[in-house]
Amino acid sequence: MEDAYLNERLAFPATIRNRDSIANVLSNYIPSKGLLLEIASGSGEHGVFFQKSFPSIIWQTSDPEEVHRKSISSWITHYDLSSKMPEPLDIDVEKRPWPITTQLRSLIKGIVCINMIHITPWSCTEAFFEESKTYLNKNHFLLIYGPFFLRDTQASQSNVNFDQSLRMQNPKWGLRYLDRVDEVALKNGFNQEKIIAMPANNLSVIYKLS
């Protein structure tokens, strides 16, 4: 049985490198109780790490890819977190409304989205903010993390190269200018509260509904 779990557990190397710094940012926003919804959870390694780091809350993962959801479930089992952590939801940000039950909705205190915006079409960023606003109030937070371009700052060569390689894989992908993301956020009632510079030329950006 353990072998099956091992086979399904995916390992995304970047998660080991960035999870501590993201947890450090999250620690300033984690509520005393309630649920955080993670969009685009990928392998699930972040999810189990954050669940273990913040035991007072429930970490709800999600991903539209079945292979990722299986990986997430396997990581949950691996760390014996099944009694605490729900199974991942099948959420594609563009398929709205998201499959969130009334009970779940009542528990949501924040939404977290790590490394999705640059690796999906722009319409996903728009759908992400449009839908997220329906689950949050002004006491809650929304965190995005990833590489972004800043209008008045010279981009690192690694981010320029990464942007080019993404666009070669899919012309609809690529690093976004943060001010364009902010515009979409604002259109949906979210004010940018804080930008936090992260290792490896990434940013964490916190938004709150006004």
Ligand X SMILES: C[S@@+](CC[C@H](N)C(=O)[O-])C[C@H]1O[C@@H](n2cnc3c(N)ncnc32)[C@H](O)[C@@H]1O
**What is the closest distance, in whole angstroms, from the C-beta atom of residue 94 to ligand X in the complex?**
5
The structure tokens listed for 153 are: 């700052």
| Cβ proximity to ligand X, 42 vs 174, nearer residue | 42
| Cβ proximity to ligand X, 41 vs 51, nearer residue | 41
| Cβ proximity to ligand X, 13 vs 83, nearer residue | 13
How many whole angstroms separate alpha carbon 153 and alpha carbon 170?
Answer: 25
The structure tokens listed for 109 are: 């205190």
Q: Which residue has the tokens 């929304």?
A: 142
| Cβ proximity to ligand X, 71 vs 77, nearer residue | 71
What residue ranges in the chain does DSSP mark as E strands? 35-39, 58-60, 108-114, 141-146, 148-149, 176-177, 190-198, 202-209
Strand-pair category, 141-146 with 148-149: unpaired
**What is the closest distance, in whole angstroms, from the C-beta atom of residue 26 to ligand X in the complex?**
13
**What is the closest distance, in whole angstroms, from the C-beta atom of residue 151 to ligand X in the complex?**
24
* Residues forming the site for ligand X (CB under 6 A): 12, 15, 39-43, 46, 63-65, 68, 91-94, 114-116, 119-120, 124
